[in-house]
Amino acid sequence: MTKKVKVAEAVKKVKITQTRSMIKRPETQQRTIQSLGLGRVHQTVEVAYTPQIEGMVKKVSHLVSVKAIIK
């Protein structure tokens, strides 16, 4: 019997890229993007995939793309 591993447990870091502009976006979304370390279109950051980061990404999922970094 194989043991299933959740994706969040297997992935320690993710690469988050801002894909859409922040022009005419609500203030809360702008603050979330800044908290993720982004600010310009096509800017990328590598962060640990914690529950806090996961929640922020869900709030601005229409503005960013996320790729897992598996080593």
Q: Which one-letter DSSP state was computed for residue 1?
A: -
pLDDT tens profile 20-34: 999 999 999 999 999
Is residue 1 situated within a structural domain?
Answer: no
Query: Which alpha helices (H) appear in the chain, and where do they start and end?
Result: 7-10, 27-35, 51-59
Task: Using the predicted structure, report yes or no on whether residue 11 has a pLDDT greater than 60.
Answer: no
Kindly list the distances between the CA atom of residue 11 and the CA atoms of 5, 15, 50, in Å, as whole numbers in the listed order.
10, 11, 10
CA distance 7 to 24: 34
pLDDT tens profile 51-69: 999 999 999 999 999 999 9
Structural domains of the chain, count: 1
Give the CATH number for residue 59.
Answer: 3.30.1390.20
Is residue 63 situated within a structural domain?
Answer: yes
Domain extent, residue 18, equals: 7-69
What is the value of pTM for the model shown? 0.81
Q: Categorize the per-residue pLDDT at 6 as very low, low, confident or very high, splitting at 50, 70 and 90.
A: low
